A = this chain, B = another copy of it.
Amino acid sequence: MSEAQESGPAVSGRRPKRDALVAAAFELFTTHGFEQTTVDDIVRLAGVGRSSFFRYFPSKEDVVFPDHEGCLAEMTAFLQEGSSEEDPVIKVCDAARLVMRMYADNPAFAVQRYRLTKSVPGLRHHELSVVWRYERTLADYLRRRFAHRPDGTLRADVIAASVVAAHNNALRAWLRSGGQEHPAAHMDEALEFVRRSWGPEGQTTGPDEEETDDVVVLIAKRKAPMWRVVREIESTLDDR
């Protein structure tokens, strides 16, 4: 079980029984298949009692995602400690980066799990429920921040979904690279895409920021659609 043990999160040392169960499970899942492996097989290889398994993991599926509970707790704490001065869209983008960081902390394990999850429908479904909990955590935070807006819950739900979709798009690109690329390579671009789309709220320009006297003058037909106006502004600004 050397490879799973070396590359897995099994060697944190703080919870040796739990770590041994994760390492044994991955050893068995990757060699014999997920469906073919029983909880009894896992506890036998890990050398721990059956009751220990269910103390740490509600089901066989959960052992595949051993770090998500901790990451969800970290995300919740990160969002709670924020102030009302912080831009809410930037805040949820930064919260999403915590998930990427968890994956990037252990690339070999993350890639191994990605390949396993792709091939087992039951695990894909389980992963959806994990992703859903992240999305709800972000949406709940945004709903509080947007509570004063008539479209607050709608805006919160849509932005949370956007952030999760962008994060997962970048995460999958990193996983497909075998965890070889820099974790930020796609993530910065993806989250910046979301941030640009929704725009900061409540952010103010710092007083020390240098201002130039340049101005843009735009003349648009009344009927011109907004996207065309925006595109025109962007290309004008890019040219300067």
- B230 with A154: CB separation less than 8 A: no
Interface of A is mostly: helix
Query: Is A118 at the interface (CB under 8 A from chain B)?
Result: no
Query: Is A197 at the interface (CB under 8 A from chain B)?
Result: yes
Query: Is A73 at the interface (CB under 8 A from chain B)?
Result: no
- B165 with A161: CB separation less than 8 A: yes
Question: What are the residues of chain B within 8 A of A219 when measuring CB–CB?
Answer: 215-217
Q: How far is the CA of A158 from the CA of B132 in the complex (A)?
A: 15
**Quick one: closest B residue to A121, CB to CB?**
B129
Q: How far is the CA of A209 from the CA of B231 in the complex (A)?
A: 21
Q: Number of A interface residues, CB 8 Å?
A: 57
- B240 with A227: CB separation less than 8 A: no
Beyond the given A125-B129, A154-B166, A200-B227, could you list 11 further A-B residue pairs with CB under 8 A, ordered by the A residue number? A151-B189, A154-B189, A154-B190, A157-B165, A196-B226, A203-B225, A205-B225, A211-B223, A216-B219, A217-B217, A218-B218
User: Which residue numbers of A lie inside 8 Å of B, CB to CB?
Assistant: 124-126, 128-129, 132, 151, 153-155, 157-158, 160-162, 164-166, 168-170, 189-190, 193-194, 196-201, 203, 205, 209-212, 214-223, 225-227, 229-231, 233-234, 237, 240
- Closest 4 A-B residue pairs measured CB to CB? A199-B227, A161-B165, A214-B222, A161-B161
